[in-house]
Amino acid sequence: MKYILQNSTGPHWNMAFDEFALESLDMDEPVFYLWQNAPAVIIGLNQSAYAEVNLPYLESHGIVLARRVTGGGAVYHDLGNLNYSIVGPARKVEECYDVMADALRRLGLPAQRTGRNDILVDGRKCSGWAKRLSKDRMMIHGTLLWDVDIEALTQALAVPGSKLEAAGIASVRSRVCNLRPMLPQYNSMREFRDALHGILAGADGEIGLTDAQTDAVAAASRGKFGTWEWNFGRSPLTTFEATRKFPCGTVTAHYSLKHGVFSELHFTGDFIGARPASELAALLLGKRLEDLMDLPVGDFFDGTTAKDLSALF
């Protein structure tokens, strides 16, 4: 296959590039590119950032949140993860579903494509992929775990109360695997990437991009894929309940977020405060969680700051 050299490690730029390649590049045959992200969690097009991701962990560890243009679940990326995209006419891209598993087998791995979108090696997942159709064109893109930080992967996706957290770290580690220990002939990600690239490209050549095309990707990265409205605001209706002890007593928040703002909120518990908590709830309706920081929380929950209360959410 012909290829594009894609060397960005910016998660938002890379999401913008995928959309640009799908919708704006003119090609008669499938084209592939390999790429990497700095530490990031990439959520699916239809997912809620609040329900799928451990946002406090991301914030404390400098991990970026990005939303892609394909469906499927949340995934963790770092520089130990190699990603691939294949774009072109839909009927021809459909013939490429097994390309990556075939390439891994040529590297010496007993890789198998299973289910909807997974690649397994010795029964453990090393890759998952998603797809997007746009008119008569299709993109498939996926991950390859080369030497990913499995602890960070687990924590970033361990949302309190989620099935992932209930299953525990050990079960996550038992289901996924890094490829590096299985391919000792490659001493680095660069060597692995080059070997894989050589198999996929064969004797085909590079497709170059113009300055105008890269400028268009950069503009989409800033104006769409890097915005709160895209990454958080697209989140569908998600309902939560959380309880926490504060100096004022025990507080339970029953709330819903839709498109990143509170659509429903009420508090229950044995807490005390000078003003009814229902007034604070009313002030937050239609607002982002971040707007809590501008409100006099201590008036409603004695001895409790806005930062304290934000931990409840």
pLDDT in tens, 2-46: 999 999 999 999 999 999 999 999 899 999 999 999 999 999 999
Query: DSSP character for 222?
Result: I
| Chain mean position to CA 246 | 32
What range defines the domain where residue 291 resides? Answer: 238-310
Read off φ and ψ for residue 101, nearest 5 degrees.
-60, -40
Span 188-210, pLDDT tens digits: 999 999 999 999 999 999 999 99
pLDDT bracket for residue 52 (50, 70, 90): confident
- Distances in Å between the Cα of 104 and the Cα atoms of 107, 149, 170 are 5, 21, 26
pLDDT digits (tens, 9 = 90+) for 208-258: 999 999 999 999 999 999 999 999 999 988 898 999 999 999 999 999 999
Q: Do both 164 and 289 map to the same domain?
A: no
Q: Are residues 244 and 125 in the same domain?
A: no
Residue 201 and residue 82 share a domain: yes
Residues 22 and 169 in one domain: yes
Last residue of a domain, one of 182, 210, 231: 231
Residues 284 and 191 both lie in one domain: no
Tell me the mean pLDDT in the region 69-81: 93
First to last CA, the chain: 47
Name the DSSP letter for residue 43: E
Same domain for 141 and 44: yes
Q: At what angle do helices 189-201 and 99-106 cross, to 10 degrees?
A: 120
Q: In terms of domains, do 25 and 131 share one?
A: yes
Query: What number of other Cβ atoms are within 10 A of residue 96's Cβ?
Result: 18
Contact (Cβ atoms closer than 8 angstroms) between residue 143 and residue 128:
yes
The token duo for 248 is 């004022």
pTM assigned to the model = 0.86
Q: Provide the pLDDT for residue 110.
A: 95
Helices (H) and strands (E) in the chain, counts: 13, 13
Same domain, 34 and 101: yes
| Total structural domains within the chain | 2
- Which residues, 6+ apart, have CB-to-CB distance to 113 below 8 Å? 97, 98, 100, 101, 119
Q: Are residues 53 and 139 in the same domain?
A: yes
Residue that has been written with the tokens 């799908």 in this structure: 22
